Every structure is written in structure tokens, then in C-alpha cells.
Structure 1
Amino acid sequence: MMQAAALAEIWRGDFLESEHLGHAVICGPDGNVIDGWGDPDRVILPRSSVKMIQALPLIESGAADAADLGVEHLALSCASHQGQAVHTDLVDAWLHNIGRGEDDLICGPQAPRISADRRAMIRAGENPCRVHNNCSGKHTGFLTLARHLGAGPDYVAADHPVQLAVREAFEDVTDQTSPGFGIDGCSAPNFAATLHGVGRAMAFFANAQDSSGRGRAARRLVEAMMTRPDLVAGQDRACTELMLAAPGRLAVKTGAEGVFVAILPDQGIGIALKAADGATRASECAIAALLVRLGVLPADHPAVQRRMNPPIKNWDGLEVGAIRPAPGLLA
């Protein structure tokens, strides 16, 4: 097993104070690793970074078209959203259109991520619900698929037809038999794979063609993410801001515990990375650096700077340090 490599550095003045280690791969059109750091064979739980894989059966089965889902619904099916009105209103309408309601969602209730929205909810005497959960779009997609298949309501059970379809798609696009799964924060199974497998899957999405049902489904999901980045995450989030910085050229998705993936259709390239300590600041810094390395984004773009080189300030507002990508990511 190869050792983890440096992904991000924390500098305070002239001193390297801390390092975030991890693993990263860049996969070419054939799925092979064309550049890497750390251990490409490290088995990870990709968490929410692979929601586009989990959404493949929604389209392939015919469920999406039968429910007349649009680009906005497909983007939400890949989303880890903020629980803003733009997200929750769409989920509510989608549930209504398929004859389901909030109580049918198996993801737990979650407060909106933006503090102003949380305060407004408190002032109104309202409680967060399952529609506010960052995974409610994915779960509404699961419900849509379950209804189309005539399957039961426990759509997160590992042996449910929905999750069997998800596992088949996951193992196909990663080209690996998953060694198992963990239960994600939203109660759905999260299938494990090597980092290389996840990177290979992103390369599949980057190169997807209309010659197969799975290819057409992958293209639709990537196009939905790129068309509605505001739905994939939301205000102030890295996924949304990085996609807006390169419109139509990039689909990116974060996952809990320091995972990040990118799909680059113009270059036919997929990226997957994992910060070993699960730090989001490390994964955001590293993905921004790799996108600069590959020429997708300029280093001086504000959305890039906020992730790749954010200043560290003390309580008095003084700039005392910075987060920087490890030199090997940019060279």
C-alpha cells in the first residue's frame, strides 16, 4: 500500500504549521490513471460525491421520463443542497407530482445550512423537515424509481430493487465489485470502491456517449449538473461556484469526509480525491488546484482563490496565514 501524499498545507507566517495528506487520481478516457498522488488502490466510501452514479437507474429504467422529470429534477437527484427555498420548493413539487409526500422520504430532517434561513425558520415557529435534508433530491429520485418499479417503500434497504440497481450501476462504472457498503448520513447504502474505481467512473461520465442507455443517462446527468449548478449545492458552496466559474466545461461534486470528484467532458478526464483526515478545507483546496493544473480554471479566479488559497485570519481580523495546495499538485 502506497503512503498518503501531501494535498494541502497550512502556513502561519513563514512556518508550515500543518499538512493534510490524502490520495488523488486523474483518469483518462480509457479509465486508466494518468496522474496520481498517494494510493490509487485505497478503498474509500465516496459518500455524496457519487450521487450521479446513484441517479443512473432513475433515467435508465424509464422512470425519469415517465414522471416527466426536467433538468432541474435531474440536477437535484445529484445534489447535496443547502435546504434553500429554491431546493425545497422543487422537491415539494416533485413529491406532489409522483403522489408522495415528505413522510415518504427516509432521509432524516436537517436544518437549512445557511444561518439566515435557519433564523427565519425559528422566527416563523417552523421546524426543519426531511425536505430540507441535503439529500432530499436523491431520495425523491429513489422514490420515483421505486414507484416506477412497483417496489415497496423501504427504498434504502440494501436488498431493495432500487439499491440493487444502484449497486449494479456503481460496480459497472467503477469496473469493480464493491467490497461492501456503509450507511450514509441520509440512511442510504454507500458502496465502497478504490479511489481509482471512483476516478474511472468519473472518466466514464466525462466520455459518455448516446450509443448506450447508460451513456445517454450519464450525459443527461452531467448536462443537468452543469446547467443548474445552483441546485447541486447552493449559495457559497464550492461545487456551485466552481461550476459557475467554468460554465458547461465542468461538473464537480463533494462528499463528506474529504472526498471530491470532477468530470471534465472537454478533456474526457475524471478526477477523484480523498483527504485522509476527512477535512473539507483540504479536499476543496486540492480539487481547485487540480482544476488549475489541468487548465480548466484560472488560478486567479475568485472561486478558485476562495478554496485554493484562502487566507487564515485571527480573531482581530489580521491575516496570519494561508491554506495552500501541496506543491506537487500544481507542478
Structure 2
Amino acid sequence: MPKLESITQGAVPMVEMWRGDRLESVHQGHAVVMRANGEVVESWGRPEVVIYPRSSCKMVQALPLLESGAGAGLSAKQLALACASHQASALHVGMVTRWLADLGLSDDDLRCGAAPPGDIAERDRLICAHAKPCQSHHECSGKHSGFLTVNAHLRGGPDYVDPDHPVQRAVRDAFEGATGQTSAGYGIDGCSAPNFATELQGLGLAMARFASAREGVGDGRAQAMARLRDAMMAHPDMVAGETKACTNLMRAAEGRAAVKTGAEAVFVAILPEKKLGIALKIIDGGIRASEAAMTGLLRRYGVIAPDHPVILLLLQNPKVLVCYDAEVI
């Protein structure tokens, strides 16, 4: 078996953590800013590094939901939830439950597994009721509700997370089409679904294509991209939740960006006004660094005001130096 290229190769310092006048830690990574024609606008590290996008690519995984026609009647909130890594607040769990009921299904039909809620109020409610979390509490249950919607349309079997299942074949086709690359393979994500590998610049290209898409214009994929992107920006609370970086950054951007984080410090952004896509990966998996790096890039490209409170929220003590901004916050 050929040796895989190390993700550390060519990585550059992207975020430094300072306390007073002393450097405490450094996070290295890779980042790229792309146009839909494949142009690399800026890059740090190696844009050709191969990564698993993890949950940062949920909007790509949701493309078959609209391209197949299965999700034609879904609301914008449901589309945003299909792209979400949510906190399992009552808002999120309630919508998943209703969505499944509309399909004639239940929590038992999900294949994401049960997980404790990130939302404190829902966590406390379960504790007080001596109840266990269910699969609808999993942060990926919105994505899986989308998978089940596609599955009902395709009349597939119940194991829709199998890489050879028609749902996942459709997801892979959409993923490779959006990234412009044949995937190097897949790993099984934390929600049991396959996660397809791509170069970081392939992920950035997909985000640029989402940024350039316009609803009602172009082919079915472009229109699906526009609907999903606009749903995320219209309902940032559905995509993550209160106190979460994705929700706070989209609120701060006020319709100028859709953003999505993924496990192991992957982060992407879609900038419709500028028709740019951004993808970054911090190689140590540090979420605090990926959030800081994306905040710095959104500020760099003018979609968040430099004095917006979210800047202080995500780049607070210890002081953070986002290396491509060359400025200590």
C-alpha cells in the first residue's frame, strides 16, 4: 500500500496564542481562497493537501436532496438543518422529529447513533426526566433526515449510510462534481456515514461554486447550491446554535457569508457577494485555531466589520495573532 503524504508537509503557522508578551502556542495549517473558475486567489501552506472535509461539506452532501427532487417541498429551515452540526436544542430536535414523522419514519430509522445534546437546556431536561438522548439529539441528525428523504425518493434499503447504497453513491457523485476531483477514498465519519477525501483546493472550489450560484439560473446543481447557501444564511440558528461559531459568524456577516465548521479543525466559507470560496485546515485539529483563522479571513475579505463584537468573542484572551493578518487582536 503506498505511503500517504503527511498532512504536516508544507504546513505554515496560521494562529499564534499570546499571553502578554510571551508566545504560548502556535497552530499550523493550510488555507486557500478560490474562484469558481479554479483560480487560486490566495493560499497558505499547500492547497493540494488531501483531507477529509468532515462536517464542513454538509451542504455538498445535501445536494442530492434537491437535485433528485426529493426535497422540493422542504422549507428553508429544513434545508439549513440538512447542512447543520446542531446543538440539539428543542428547536433542532423538534424539527427533526417532525421531519421524520412527515416521512412516516421515526428516530429508529436514523443511522447516526444517539449522542448527548450540546444544548444545556435540553441536556438538563433529559437529566431531570431521567431520559437518555436519542438519535435525533445527534448533531448530524438533520443531515441524516435529508439522507432519509432522498432514500424514500429512491426507494432504497434502510442502511442508507452504506458507501454502496444509492444515497451515498449520489452523495459521492455530487461531491466529486462540486470539487472537480475524483475522491481519493473515504473514511467513516462520527455519524456512521462515509466522508469523501479531497484536496483542500477542491473543497475551496466547491465553496466558490456555491458562492457563484444563483437561484433560478443555471442547471439543477447550481440552483440547488443557491438554495442551500441561502437557507444557511437565512437561518444560522439552525446550522449550529446559540454560542456556536458558525451561527455567530453568519449573524455577524449579515448575509455576506455562509460558513461551516467540521471536526478536526476544518472550516469553510461561501462569500456570495465576492463569489469566493474559502477552505482551511489546522493540522493539530484545534477548533479554537480554526475558528480564529476563519474569523481572521472573514475580516480580511471584508464580510465582517473589524470592530464587530464577534471578533472579540472568537479572538479573545489569550491574545491571538492570525498570521496572514499580521495583527494581534
Matched, 1:94 2:113: no
* Whole-Å separation in 2 of the counterparts to 1:108 and 1:148: 23
Of stretches 2-11 and 160-169 in structure 1, the one that deviates more from structure 2 is: 2-11
Coordinate RMSD, CA, aligned: 1.4
Report deviation, 1:24: 0.2
From 121, 124, 133, the equivalent of 1:128 is 133
From 298, 307, 326, the equivalent of 2:323 is 326
Q: Which amino acid aligns with 2:95?
A: L
Corresponding residue for 1:314?
Answer: none
After TM superposition, the structure 1 = structure 2 runs for residues 1-331 of structure 1, keeping only pairs within 5 Å, are 3-65=10-72, 68-209=73-214, 210-307=217-314, 309-311=315-317, 321-328=318-325
Report deviation, 1:310: 1.2
Gaps of 5+ in 1: 312-320
CA contact (8 A) 2:161 2:194 kept: yes
* Whole-Å separation in 2 of the counterparts to 1:330 and 1:99: 54
Report deviation, 1:127: 0.9
Secondary structure of 1:23's counterpart equals: strand
Percent identity, aligned pairs only? Answer: 54
CA contact (8 A) 1:80 1:233 kept: yes
Q: Which amino acid aligns with 1:301?
A: H
Secondary structure of 1:179's counterpart equals: coil
Of stretches 30-39 and 275-284 in structure 1, the one that deviates more from structure 2 is: 30-39
CA contact (8 A) 1:290 1:330 kept: no
Question: TM (normalized to structure 2)?
Answer: 0.94
Q: Which amino acid aligns with 1:33?
A: V
Q: Which amino acid aligns with 1:259?
A: V
* Whole-Å separation in 2 of the counterparts to 1:272 and 1:245: 19
Report deviation, 1:93: 0.3
* Whole-Å separation in 2 of the counterparts to 1:265 and 1:275: 24
CA contact (8 A) 2:300 2:325 kept: no
CA contact (8 A) 2:160 2:168 kept: yes
CA contact (8 A) 1:241 1:303 kept: yes
Aligned residues: 319
Secondary structure of 1:185's counterpart equals: coil
Residues 73 and 81 of structure 1: CA distance in aligned 2, closer, same or farther (over 3 Å): same
Q: Which amino acid aligns with 1:197?
A: G
Q: Which amino acid aligns with 2:133?
A: P
* Whole-Å separation in 2 of the counterparts to 1:30 and 1:306: 35
* Whole-Å separation in 1 of the counterparts to 2:68 and 2:34: 28
* Whole-Å separation in 2 of the counterparts to 1:8 and 1:282: 6
* Whole-Å separation in 1 of the counterparts to 2:98 and 2:249: 28
Secondary structure of 2:71's counterpart equals: helix
* Whole-Å separation in 2 of the counterparts to 1:48 and 1:224: 17
Corresponding residue for 1:315?
Answer: none
Report deviation, 1:20: 0.2
Report deviation, 1:328: 4.7
Secondary structure of 2:187's counterpart equals: strand
Residues 163 and 329 of structure 1: CA distance in aligned 2, closer, same or farther (over 3 Å): farther
Report deviation, 1:32: 1.9
Gaps of 5+ in 2: none
Secondary structure of 2:278's counterpart equals: strand
CA contact (8 A) 2:53 2:262 kept: yes
* Whole-Å separation in 1 of the counterparts to 2:107 and 2:122: 19
Residues 297 and 330 of structure 1: CA distance in aligned 2, closer, same or farther (over 3 Å): farther
